[in-house]
Amino acid sequence: MQLAVLTIKKTITLFALVGPVTMIPVFLSAVDGFESNEKRRFARALGFSVTVALLVAAFLGTSFLSFMGISIGAMQIGGGIIVLLLAIAMVMGKETSFKGSAPPADGDNGHEASIVPLAIPLLAGPAAFSYVMGNSTLKQEWDFVHVVVPIIIVGLSCW
């Protein structure tokens, strides 16, 4: 019971940090002019990219940061500064928009625009990376459930 409750809490927190619902207008702007099957492929690539990015951050992120000499606290401060700058831009009324590339040509899968900037850093950004890296210290056998299950659920919600 405690395992399920803790996993649900971590899923809700990660869902709030990633914010897939708030990205719907950006997604619609990015796929404007795409056909419905192209929109589905774009959304699938977006969800997959978010899931993979968060899983990589969860399992390799702390090792990479320590290799680079960056602490989790510094990562959290950097993420907070980015959020602050975005908030100031919103308050000042500066228009920030993302327009995806043209619909993919024949032979092109069109998924590149879904990875940057939509998947990384808008959905899987510094706050989400810091959160999954902070929760990824595996101390017991079933601790990975608290890390992997929320990431997969949030990744599916981005799809």
Considering its fold, how many domains does the chain have in total? 1
Q: Which residue has the tokens 């989790």?
A: 72
pLDDT of residue 100: 47
Parent domain of 92: 2-102+110-158
Q: Which residue has the higher pLDDT, 93 or 101?
A: 93
Q: What is the pTM of this model?
A: 0.76
pLDDT of residue 74: 82
Nearest to 46 by CA among 20, 25, 22: 20
For the chain, how far is it from start to end, CA to CA, in angstroms?
29
pLDDT of residue 47: 93
Residue 112: pLDDT band with limits 50, 70, 90: low
Other Cβ atoms less than 10 A from the Cβ of 18: the count is 26
Identity of residue 109: N
Other Cβ atoms less than 10 A from the Cβ of 130: the count is 23
